[in-house]
C-alpha cells in the first residue's frame, strides 16, 4: 500500500485501534445527554485529532460498533469520514475479519470499501482464494489476511501440521505466492508469537505485516520488531488499542492517548535505529 509506505518513510509505524466501549468512555463523555453515536464519534474524534500526526494507520474494529446496532454503525461511518477529512494520508484499516463465498463477499467488499470508505480490511483465509477474489481484485485496497493470530488458543488450528510445516506457514506461502497478484496483500501475525513471526517474515519477504497484541495482550515489542521488520527495516504495522485509547479515563484522555502513542512510536524508532546502526558498523 502506497499510503503505508509513505508513513513508514516518515518513521511512523504505530496503528491506533479505535475500539470504543461505552462502559470505558471517560465519565464526562459517558454522562453527556447525547446520543450514543455522538458520544462514540466525539471520543474517536478527539483520539484521532490527538494522534493523527504520529501514526501510520487507524484501525476501527467493526465489532465494537456493530454491538450497538445502528448508532454504532453511524459512529463507524462518521469516524472514518473524520479521519479522511483531517488525516487523508493515513490509511483506515477496517478490522472486520470477513470471509464467505464469492457472491456474499461482493457485499462485504461494497460495504467496507464503497460505503465505509476503508482503505484496507482484515479477512479470513479459510474459504480459499477463489472465494476471496472479490477482495483480492480490489487492487487499490489492502487485503490483510489472518495468518497467526495473537489469542492464546490460536494454535488449535493454526499449528496443524507436523514439526516441519504448520497451517499458518501454508497460509503465509499461499498469500505470498498466489494471492498477492495485485501486490495488495498483507498478513496479520500476533506480537504474542515472535518465533512464528520470524518464520513468517522469512516466508513472505517484504510483504507488510499487521502486528496486534502489543500492550494489553502482553506482546513483547522488541522481539516483535526484531522478527517483524522487513529487509528495509519497514513493513510493519504495530497496533495498540486499549493501551492508547484508554490511557486515561479523565478529561485528559486525548492527551494521554497522544503520550502513549509518542512513547510507543519512540520505542520503535529507537530500536530501529539501533538495528540500522549495527548494520552500518
Grid cell 494471492 in the structure block, residue: 179
Q: Do the strands 185-189 and 120-123 form a parallel or antiparallel pair, or are they unpaired?
A: unpaired
Of 97, 117, 233, 263, catalytic? 97
Q: How many angstroms separate the CA atoms of 50 and 16, rounded?
A: 11
Terminal CA-to-CA distance of the chain, rounded, Å? 31
Name the percent of the chain in helix, strand, coil, to the closest 5: 50, 15, 30
CA distance 97 to 86: 26
Q: What are residue 143's DSSP bridge partners?
A: 121, 185
Q: Cβ(121)–Cβ(142) under 8 Å?
A: yes
Q: How many angstroms separate the CA atoms of 233 and 26, rounded?
A: 37
Task: Give the Å distances, CA to CA, from 210 to 164, 194, 225, 242.
Answer: 24, 13, 12, 16
Angle at 22 between CA 20 and CA 28, to 5 degrees: 105
Answer for the pair 184, 142: CB distance below 8 angstroms, yes or no. yes
Q: Give the Cα-Cα-Cα angle 83, 266, 201 (nearest 5 degrees).
A: 85
Closest CA to 224 of 15, 53, 18, 10: 15
CB atoms within 10 A of CB 71: 17
Q: Note if 97 is an active site residue.
A: yes
- Catalytic residue numbers read 97
Amino acid at each position: 500500500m502506497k499510503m503505508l509506505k509513505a508513513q513508514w518513510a516518515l518513521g511512523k509505524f504505530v496503528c491506533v485501534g479505535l475500539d470504543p466501549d461505552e462502559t470505558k468512555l471517560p465519565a464526562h463523555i459517558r454522562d453527556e445527554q447525547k446520543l450514543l453515536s455522538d458520544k462514540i464519534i466525539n471520543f474517536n474524534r478527539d483520539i484521532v485529532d490527538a494522534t493523527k500526526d504520529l501514526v501510520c494507520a487507524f484501525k476501527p474494529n467493526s465489532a465494537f460498533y456493530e454491538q450497538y446496532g445502528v448508532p454504532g454503525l453511524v459512529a463507524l461511518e462518521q469516524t472514518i469520514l473524520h479521519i479522511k477529512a483531517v488525516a487523508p494520508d493515513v490509511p483506515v484499516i477496517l478490522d472486520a475479519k470477513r470471509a464467505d463465498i464469492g457472491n456474499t463477499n461482493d457485499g462485504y467488499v461494497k460495504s467496507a470499501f464503497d460505503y465505509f470508505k476503508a482503505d484496507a480490511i482484515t479477512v479470513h483465509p479459510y474459504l480459499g482464494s477463489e472465494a476471496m477474489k472479490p477482495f483480492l481484485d480490489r487492487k487499490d485496497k489492502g487485503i490483510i489476511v489472518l495468518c497467526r493470530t495473537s489469542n492464546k488458543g490460536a494454535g488449535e488450528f493454526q499449528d496443524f501440521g507436523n514439526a516441519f510445516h504448520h497451517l499458518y506457514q501454508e497460509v503465509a506461502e499461499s498469500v505470498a505466492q498466489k494471492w498477492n497478484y495485485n501486490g495488495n496483500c498483507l498478513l496479520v501475525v500476533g506480537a504474542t508469537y515472535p518465533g512464528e513471526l520470524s518464520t513468517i517474515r522469512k516466508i513472505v519477504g517484504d510483504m507488510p505485516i499487521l502486528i496486534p497484541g502489543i500492550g494489553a495482550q502482553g506482546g513483547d515489542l522488541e522481539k516483535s520488531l526484531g522478527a517483524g521488520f522487513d529487509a528495509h527495516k519497514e513493513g510493519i504495522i504495530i497496533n495498540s488499542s486499549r493501551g492508547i485509547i484508554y490511557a486515561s479515563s479523565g478529561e485528559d484522555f486525548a492527551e494521554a492517548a497522544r503520550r502513549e502513542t509518542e512513547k510507543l512510536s519512540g520505542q520503535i524508532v529507537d530500536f530501529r535505529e539501533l538495528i540500522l546502526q549495527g548494520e552500518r558498523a
